[in-house]
Homo-oligomer: A and B are copies of this chain.
């Protein structure tokens, strides 16, 4: 079954805003077996909006509009939807009363213009808005549905989940769907594709999609079945084959980010971590601490942006920096060892490199990064060439550092397991 989404608002036609509500709605619709076949963005213009809704209603059985339900003159969705469907629009006294009550409860008087929000399309079910004053509307005819939802994500999301999803389940053919996401690090998209294509192309169901993000590749599997168990069985048949082919490049199959995976492994091994960063400027610490609860294993970090700091705070010998340069393998190792010794952490990471755009030389070009990991048994260092803008170089350097940690912690777990 097909759906289309219409995002409404002149601000979405400026260079500053893009519609992101549709990503949430698409995910929810896909989850019940509905495909999105069109997304349209249209401004606060009466004739364009009316035509757009009429066209969509004409060609797709499920239509969702986003926005244009506020109280101002610019908020035209109710009127245009009524006109597109040839239905009347009337002020609903009980709806007006409930909007007024919402203002009263906050000790405020309802401005007159908010009565626009009490306009009710003939035959529509009113969808409560627990987070704002704009109620939604649901119009259903012959197993086809048009729903009008408010624009703010914190209002749209609960309204869709609580009021639309149950109604949609009533009109769409039942289908059980199972999903899995394999997240991969250390392989390019084409390298991953080459490994997995011979396997997944043998299956029409699950459908496999490959997506690339900076420093990461994702495989999305989606299967359809008569029952949930049947759908799950299909994913469970394909996913392990892909995992085996990809080996330890797969870092998660449950949606967890690389920083979460590393955090879980550190916590499970009761190990702690401290980091010393030069070119990444705090991004590694920031990513690690973006995980709630990271204080259980992350002790702290030092951003050593000057050579003096590298020596004073992390005991990197000035003569080493002099001889090898601040961007060098021995300095990365000294940073990792220094932060580990000074902090008493189980693991210490050191990063030094040239993020660009300036500072590169023929011998040490922009994008050259050294990443070192010092642990209880040994120390490793990686020389990596990153390509792209300053922020991409910094991101890829932290991605490589997290992956180095992940692989080391996995080996540690294995060897302690085999000793037991």
Which residues of A are interface residues toward B (Cβ below 8 A)? 11-20, 22-24, 26-27, 30, 35-43, 45, 48, 52, 55, 209, 211, 218, 220, 275, 277, 280-286, 288-290, 292-295, 298-306, 308-309, 313, 343, 356-358, 390-391, 394
Contact = CB atoms under 8 A, between A and B. Distances in A.
B209 A14 contact: yes
Contacts of A37: 13, 42-43, 45, 48
Given A37-B42, A282-B286, A282-B289, A306 B295 contact: yes
Contact of A303 (B26, B300, B356): B300
Given A14-B209, A39-B41, A390 B302 contact: no
A322 B55 CA distance: 66
A289 B393 CA distance: 13
A302 B299 contact: no
Contacts of A288: 281
A303 B302 contact: yes
B13 A18 contact: no
B35 A13 contact: yes
A290 B281 contact: yes
A305 B266 CA distance: 16
B285 A281 contact: yes
13 contacts: A13-B26, A13-B36, A13-B39, A18-B22, A18-B23, A38-B41, A281-B285, A282-B286, A285-B303, A299-B305, A299-B309, A300-B304, A309-B343
Given A281-B286, A292-B358, A300-B304, 11 more contacts: A13-B38, A15-B30, A38-B52, A40-B40, A282-B282, A290-B391, A292-B356, A300-B306, A301-B303, A301-B305, A313-B313
Contacts of A301: 282, 302-303, 305
Contacts of A295: 305-306
A290 B295 CA distance: 25
A280 B285 CA distance: 9
A68 B218 CA distance: 22
Contacts of A304: 300
Nearest to A22: B18
A17 B220 CA distance: 13
* Most B C-beta atoms less than 10 A away, residue of A282, A292, A294: A282
Given A13-B35, A13-B36, A293 B23 contact: no
Contacts of A306: 295, 299-300
Given A15-B30, A306-B300, A286 B289 contact: no
Contacts of A290: 281, 390-391, 394
A216 B292 CA distance: 25
A36 B45 CA distance: 12
Contacts of A209: 11, 14
Contacts of A358: 292-293
A347 B401 CA distance: 30
A394 B292 CA distance: 12
A84 B295 CA distance: 59
B309 A305 contact: no
Contact of A16 (B23, B298, B309, B394): B23
A290 B303 CA distance: 13
Nearest to A38: B42
* Most B C-beta atoms less than 10 A away, residue of A30, A45, A281: A281
A282 B305 contact: no
Nearest to A12: B39
Nearest to A213: B16
A16 B220 contact: yes
* Most B C-beta atoms less than 10 A away, residue of A30, A277, A285, A303: A303
A354 to B, nearest CB: 11
Contacts of A38: 13, 40-42, 48, 52
A45 B357 CA distance: 41
- Top 7 A-B pairs, shortest CB-CB distance: A281-B289, A282-B285, A282-B282, A15-B27, A282-B286, A301-B303, A39-B41
